[in-house]
Structure 1
Amino acid sequence: MEIRELAIITLKKDAGEIYANQIRYFLGDNIKINLYSFEEGNITFLYEKVIVISVKLKYDEILSMCTKDAQIIIPKLTFEKSNFKKISNVDKNMTVFVYNLSRSMALETITIIHRLGINIPNLIPSYPGSDNILPNSVVLTPGEEVLIESHNCKIINLGYRIIDLGGIVDIAIKLNLEHLIKEDLLKKFIDRVVPTSYITEKLLISQIKLENKFDFLLSSIDEGLICVSEDGTVQFYSHMAREILAINDNDMIGKYIGDYIKSFDFSQVKNKQNVNLQKLIKVNNIDITLEIRYTDINVFSGYIIKVAKFYEAEKKQAKLRAQLMDSGNVSKYNFDDIIGCSEDILNTKKIAYKMAQSNSSILIIGESGTGKELFTQSIHGASSRKQGPFVAVNCSTFQDGLLQSELFGYDEGAFTGAKKGGKKGLFELANNGTIFLDEVGEMDLSSQAMLLRVIQEKQIRRVGSDKVIDVDIRIIAATNRDLRKLICKNKFRKDLFYRLNVLPLKISPLRDRADDIFLILESFKKNLDVHFKLSDEVVDIFRKYNWEGNIRELRNLAEYCSYAGKSVIEVSDLPDYILESIRPENQCDKILEAEKSYQKLNFKRDLNDYIFVLEKINQAYNLKQRIGRRKIYEYALEEQVFLTEQQIRSILLELQGFELVKILAGRGGSIITKKGIEFLNQYKC
């Protein structure tokens, strides 16, 4: 892993060492810190990419001595709480001198004192050569008491100033090490140091709350999750990953993942946009399933790695397999069980019956609850394979990587904990019959590739075996997702889609066939042995209702109404979610919503962040200037808006997606569009 280098330049050597210790407190040994001071005269050419200087006065001089791409940070400084109390106890009515190495540094110390909320009206800067300290005065100095020439003065040593948290965060971000700033360190910082502003303290508290929630989420996930950056540096991981890899708490943070999982070469993960990789590897002589996926979101770009002990994962699936095998592998329903009189459903049943006479693959498309498995079993029962097995599997039920062992089976000794004698896969169990792959859109890419081979070659190979087994099966797949969109996102194979979609069958949602609602409801009432009727108002509501859960939702509603114990179901007897869907819209709210069209934009962050960026771009536009994210970031630092340069980049991309700004090529920066100006004006109104 690359070691980042940081240069710290101070007037005096001692101050540089204090800053370095503070930075190491947060960032550990992940950086190499090079110290320079004007006192030692050891400053020549600076090759480091990130440079911290303690005083603004030396900025131009340092700028001429570093590389063009170097980033120079002048952090805000503060005092420890113990020294802050010394200032607080000073008599506010006295004339107080503030002594430092130069007039500008003395003025800067005075600024810090005022920024920390201490109101001493008469603070006078003093420095070597000024000779303005009156006898019997109070003198405040940040570690320079040995230089003070005074008569009977009370000298209060405030100790060296230290870097405020904002400066530490800025350094960490520029070094790509912000993930190392942890909750326990923040708590200790709050206890020890006075934040330079109320906003900083609020951000610290918010950060701690956010990390607490995140830690709770990780601790509740019963899977081994590891998050690494694009260069393989570990950012965080769950408690289960720590147990599986047998490592100490936080031991991997900031380290290269290959140092802990050595049986896999992470350098082979090159095409990051299409990474969706599953492997069976050994770690500490234990079989581990390894899954790697690439993700790119606002705050993170890198890889999510999921690890699991294969044997433990197999045990978790035992109950699911038992339920699957106990089903008897037979179909229970036929076309007569599909109730409906609408032209839509009658036509769908007619097409499905004709498809049953073929052996080609069928892809059933329909929303959840429309009866996709009912159609599948009916097709099997009407086909030449009706005497053969019918095996159904929900592809979303099994964890990625385990679906393959379920579908294809495994040989004895294929992995640690493998069943003696091996295990038949679902394709083998469905031989000479039909296999129903429900929720096929949830299948991982590796399993998709193996399924494609089964369709093409009519052969399967068990996990851990070199023996090929011939199978004669018909595949019926179903999904409630748009597979074409998944293809565009590289989450579903195009060639597999066309292999499955030989005979497409679409099942219409219940809201599109209102005539069927009451026929199906009567069937449910008969099964529940209830005899209620619906009032005319309820009948009208049922016809207009959206039925997002389709037939499954109607069945649940029939059972709900049966508990009312009434012979006629009135509107007041319906559940709240039905009533809420039929209440008239508040016209005033509708008008206000139309006026505030910006609320319709699905922003990922707080709206004020986008307004801040837009205002800066608009100001530059009015001045006929170009502005980039670096300049916006500088404004954010000045105005204490907590936005990183990466977050500003993401905001700009979002604003461009909504056509509010236009990002120009190269170093052209960004300009606001007419739509963006209208948006700003509307917001201000």
Structure 2
Amino acid sequence: MKNIILITGTESTRMFLHSQLEEYFNEFATIKSYAIYERAINEPIYGDLIVFSSKPIYDAVNINLNNIPWIIANKTLNYCNIDKLLFLNKESKVLIVNDAKDSSYNLIDHLKNLGIDHIQFIPYYPGIDKYEPCNIAVTPGEVDKVPSEVNTIIDLKCSLIDMSSLIEIMRGIGYYDEKVKDISSRYIRKIIEIGKKLAVRNNEVITLHRDLERVVLHLNSFQVETQKKFSYKIKNSTLLNTVGTDIKEEFVKKRYYAKYTFEHIIGNSEKITHVKNISKKLARTNLSILIEGESGTGKELFAQAIHNYSFKNDGPFIAINFSALPKNLIESELFGYEPGAFTGAKKEGKIGLFEQAKGGTIFLDEIGDAPLDVQTRLLRVLQEKEIMKVGGDRIIPIDVRIIAATNKNLIKLIDEGNFREDLYYRLKMGYIILPPLKDRKEDISEIIDEFFIRKGSKLDVSSKVIEILNNRQWKGNVRELINTLEYSYEICDSCCIKEEHLPLDFIKYHKPTNKISNSEIDNDLKTILTEIYYNQNKNVIVGRRFLSELLKGKGFNFSEQSVRSKLDKLQNLGLVTKSKGKSGTKISSKGVEWLKQNG
């Protein structure tokens, strides 16, 4: 028998997740669990795998892990009692109560994704300044945080460990090959049971196909063979359509699927949040989309997230890069060709990517490099929704969503005669501009945190390195940052990444940013910077909530959101460095120097 160690915060979460793990793993593993908010771990821990219930719990644990492998569990919504939401009156106002602002908004997004959009969701979390009182509250197990004036509480219970983490656990204890079919089958049966509860509202059916798709993609080789072709019908409507395993297996073999969602786009800055919100709205339309952004900003990441958030997420996602294909092959790749269309053609002909993308999305990367004759054919595809194979005379209708991307100035290419103006405006019906990393530096700390979580590493990053990373202009954007972290991670031979672990040319060309003018720092920013400095010298961890409460006690009316905005400004100026978890916000050497000169 293997031994799994579960570490959670509260006792209720411990009991709930302990029960879930026992349900799936009791045949071949024993589960031992701890709730660190209730009682500290005062004994050595031994086992084959540690499962942390969340990143904050991981950050809060300071005991020796004895080199035991560990994971941080991904969580998904528990659908307990969710059917009660379906029968609330249209336009009912409901408080969504959770332990933090981000988690409240995430729960709202999740409920809307399920199609529960007939009621008005109002976020509520501890420390919120103002909210609209409601008689009904919905919460994922955070009943103690519900305001006292609420009459009706719909408790969705604690979040579940999702399928991707269950698979990680199986791999971690060495039972993946033997048990994955059984575990995945049980998980999918639960989805079907959930589907029955979500069956009817005004004769509509709410499907959980996206959840099922996510399960299948995590399994990668689609080993849920006993569930190959199932459907459940309620009131003559198909709740879960046939999975179409054979087709989806082909998608995976050819890599014709999108593995990224909006959850993979890291950052909560105002700029990236705005772009994500616009992208989600465009995803639910049938508009073609043009994504512009510098190299390394994540154009394909956004394209995949849009596909997975769209109504075509059951179909394939096919990407083609115009800069990587020889010009004489582009047309035959996109549109296919008839037998004998040209010398060297296959005798049976070829199906093009547009036909293979039927019912899904085709991503045209580096569209600025498309030859003019191909641009002409693309324009017809966008206008008429049809193609003709190379060497053919038959019109083939297509049902495909087109997303294009470029890092070039297409307006300049139009002026030079190298890009069709009519194609530009056809593609630009939905339009997204991705911000460069230098314009959202407040996201750097979160990207660093996420990098080390995915590496399964507890390496620290020195405040000096954080300062250097925040001051860099990042011409290669997020890709350059990730490559820098990869290098430092491999080079580091201690528990903390320091300056000497950065790439050699990185240090060589690092220069402090220009002197800050007094006009850039108003009295509010100076006050916050001063408080960070004094409290840091007292070894006090300084966070948004701490600053907000501290300043309110001194007569300043700063909400947490206001403090967050001002910290973002200070970080963009290189005066502070923000970190998640127990590190808090720290003043940089540049910030200390500024205070000495202007304090």
TM-score bracket for the superposition, by shorter chain length: 0.3 to 0.5
- TM-score, with length taken from structure 1: 0.37
- TM-score, with length taken from structure 2: 0.43
Structure number with higher relative contact order (C-alpha < 8 Å, ≥ 6 residues apart):
2
Larger radius of gyration: 1
